[in-house]
A and B are shown apart, each in its own frame.
Chain A
């Protein structure tokens, strides 16, 4: 996946704007994305392998459609071993945690508020409002080049 282009210009998000997790935001914020994902995996009794380069890019094959997503190994493990857990996305977690998990489950392929709403069973306007505020949660940012 090409890295989405991010600009500093004023930006008006819409229901068609796609969102993704910006790994650079995590670095700039001095936070460790991999540790966060490892904690999430531990919640589901899954331990990430220690002997692999988790940033290595691999191909994940969708078990239903055979569509391929080219993702960092760490996301491959989440998609393969953690996300299929029926409790991975549930109504008890916060909206932001839900969005974060939905993006992980999709291999961080960008999603619109409508797509996120369908996955989370939440209102798409609430999602747009939450994500289009000035504060960035868990590195979730819009792809601004698409408008």
Chain B
């Protein structure tokens, strides 16, 4: 069977060789067209399959089987059964030199692909290759190069990408590659025009194709080459920010981007808090995963969820953001190229669209303030985000229900310096997580207090102590759920649940009651 017909070849043995790269570079040079790594992977699979077919055709011709015990002459056409029926021609012959073996000759054999190799001939000693049987070749139904690509193309593209990166004559932009020497010249005038076009569109986002069309230039070269060259030039110019999701190049004027996508909003700023992971029980880790704080670290999974349900915490509610949890990150295209991704959120209920940004490095999605306000959401509200629709929009929704009056934990600030929690009635019209629902009496006062605590160097232990003390009278028997503690702490102090639960576990002031509830220890109460 041809080796390119086997899984073993593509997965275990296949590696990119210099002739492969040379072939692809020649294709790029001849076509003068940028190609994506996937397109090149398909070309490469076709190239390898063709080469293998030629080799197989040669091998299937009747030929003399190589046996080291026999005599061979220059010009002999040999089939090497034990080397996957490789076929080669004897191009040289010399006397063998090894007194342990005795008299024999060495033949040099030239193969179709690969270097010339030497083999023993007229070998007197027994050798297993002498005894191999030539079995007739059975014609089997063969997979086409395209079918092979569907099966193994991803793996080939991955290996190819790693090799192309090391090729200094090729430049890459997004998914596309092109020889540096063939790029068309984009001058300062072109770039100034591109800036003006983006400025007229309130900063962007626009594709290179949109920009070229409005510039009215570069129409004397192929579309793909013009776009690639402009994209490449814009990448090197600090005025432009590439904000497209994976595989899509979109441009925005850096100066027109919201400040919140360059610096995390104040309430989201988080200084990592080390904690002893051994203090947490399995059920606490499950809760941490369920909460989905963007600063909780979890192993990567390959599962792409159809939708992600999130509970908004106070800092995100206040800043109009969503936490970019592990699951939410999967909703967005997986192989991000850009630090900031501009996309459109669509309200599933009203169809209204909202411009938004994924700020990958800082772990949040920005641009939901108007939407939160429109539905009068509270921290603790449940929001559902679905995968991108066919128009590249990300649907989000809340579950609305009839307006009900609920008792809600409400945060306030007393005498400008004390955080207080009490239970107050409030009308709510959407689905929420009761354990995380927290209303805030005067957000500005709470934020001011958070700033004061930060400047004073308040510790997480201290904040957890205050929160437990303040929440205890609200809950029966003073048992408070971990989610509530997490939500309450985050009104004034940004911390993921891991360090908060560890602070509760390590302190003798608190007792764990099981079922994810903590309470103030009796000795402390007394």
**Interface of A toward B, CB cutoff 8 Å:** 12, 14-16, 57-61, 63-70, 76, 80, 114, 147
B99-120 vs A, Cβ < 8 Å mask (1 yes, 0 no) = 1110010100000000001111
- Can you name 30 A-B pairs with beta carbons within 8 Å? A14-B163, A15-B15, A15-B162, A15-B163, A16-B16, A57-B97, A59-B96, A59-B97, A59-B98, A59-B101, A59-B120, A60-B98, A61-B98, A61-B101, A61-B120, A64-B82, A64-B129, A65-B82, A65-B129, A66-B68, A66-B119, A66-B120, A67-B119, A67-B120, A68-B96, A68-B106, A68-B120, A69-B118, A76-B98, A114-B15
| Binary CB contact string for chain B from 162 to 195 against chain A (1 if under 8 A, 0 otherwise) | 1100100000000000000000000000000000
Closest 4 CB pairs of A and B: A66-B68, A68-B118, A61-B120, A58-B98
| Contact residues, B204-232 vs A (CB, 8 A) | none
Minimal beta-carbon separation of B218 from chain A (angstroms)? 34
Q: Does B454 contact A (CB under 8 A)?
A: no
Q: How far is the CB of A110 from chain B (nearest CB, A)?
A: 11
By a CB distance below 8 angstroms, the chain A residues around B101 are 59, 61
Query: Within 8 Å CB of A66, what residues of B?
Result: 66, 68, 119-120, 123, 127, 129
- Which residue of A is nearest B82, CB measured? A65
Q: Looking at the complex, which one of B18, B68, B117, B119 makes contact with A16 (CB distance below 8 Å)?
A: B18
Where chain A touches its partner, the secondary structure class is: mixed
B interface residue numbers (CB < 8 A to A): 15-18, 66, 68, 82-83, 96-101, 104, 106, 117-120, 123, 127-129, 162-163, 166
Out of B15, B119, B163, which one reaches A68, CB within 8 Å?
A: B119
Contacts of A60 in B (CB 8 A): 98
A76 proximity list for chain B (CB < 8 A): 98
Measured between beta carbons, the chain A residues less than 8 angstroms from B106 are 59, 68, 70
Residue in A16, A59, A60, A66 whose Cβ sees the most chain B Cβ within 10 Å? A66
Please tell me if the beta carbons of B97 and A67 are within 8 angstroms of each other in the complex.
no
Min CB gap B445→A, angstroms: 54
Q: How far is the CB of A142 from chain B (nearest CB, A)?
A: 14
Which of chain B's residues has its CB closest to A56's CB?
B97
A residues less than 8 Å from B163 (CB atoms):
14-15
Q: Please tell me which one of the listed residues B97, B104, B129, B166 contacts residue A14 in the complex, with CB atoms under 8 A apart.
A: B166
Q: How far is the CB of B195 from chain A (nearest CB, A)?
A: 36
Given contacts A15-B15, A65-B119, 13 further A-B contacts (CB under 8 A): A15-B162, A59-B97, A59-B98, A59-B106, A61-B96, A61-B98, A63-B127, A66-B127, A68-B96, A68-B106, A70-B106, A70-B118, A114-B15
Q: Report how far A76 CA is from B100 CA in the complex, Å.
A: 11
Bound Cα distance A67, B99 (Å): 17
- Which A residues are CB-close (under 8 A) to B128? 63-64
Question: Known contacts A64-B128, A65-B83: does B17 contact A16 (CB below 8 Å)?
Answer: yes
User: In the complex, what residues of A have CB within 8 A of residue B17's CB?
Assistant: 16
B118 to chain A, nearest CB (A): 4
Complex alpha-carbon distance, A31 and B82, angstroms: 41
The distance in angstroms between the C-alpha atoms of A80 and B100, with both chains bound, is 11
Determine the residue in chain A with the shortest Cβ distance to B118: A68
Chain A residue nearest to B159 in the complex (CB): A15
CA gap between A66 and B69 in the complex, in Å = 10
A58: chain B residues at CB < 8 Å are: 97-99
The complex places the Cα of A58 from the Cα of B104 at a distance, in Å, of 12
* Closest chain A residue to B130, Cβ basis: A66
User: Which of chain B's residues have a CB closer than 8 A to the CB of A70?
Assistant: 106, 118
Residues of B within 8 A of A64 (CB): 82, 128-129
Assess the A67–B117 pair: CB atoms within 8 A. yes
In the assembled complex, the Cα of A58 lies from the Cα of B120 at a distance in Å of: 13
The complex places the Cα of A32 from the Cα of B15 at a distance, in Å, of 37
The CA-CA distance from A32 to B118 in the complex, in Å, is 30
Residues of chain B within 8 A (CB-CB) of A14 are 163, 166
Residue among B17, B68, B98, B117 having the largest count of chain A Cβ atoms under 10 Å: B98
B15's nearest neighbour on chain A, judged by CB, is A114
A15→B160 CA distance, assembly (Å): 12
In the complex, are the beta carbons of A61 and B123 less than 8 A apart?
yes
Q: How far is the CA of A60 from the CA of B15 in the complex (A)?
A: 28
Q: How far apart sit A65 and B99, CA to CA, in the bound complex (Å)?
A: 20
Q: List chain A residues, Cβ under 8 A from B104.
A: 59, 61
Alpha-carbon gap, A147 to B166, bound state (A): 11
CB neighbours (8 Å) of A67 from chain B are: 117-120
For residue B117, which residue of chain A has the nearest CB?
A67
Q: Which residues of B contact A61 (CB under 8 A)?
A: 68, 96, 98, 101, 104, 120, 123, 127
The chain A residue with its CB closest to the CB of B107 is: A68
Determine the chain A residues whose CB is within 8 A of the CB of B100 once the complex forms: 80
Q: Once bound together, how far apart are the Cα atoms of A61 and B163, in whole Å?
A: 35
Distance of A66 Cα from B70 Cα, bound (Å): 12
Interface centre among A14, A58, A59, A68 (most CB of B within 10 A): A68
Residues on the B chain within 8 Å of A59, using CB: 96-98, 101, 104, 106, 118, 120
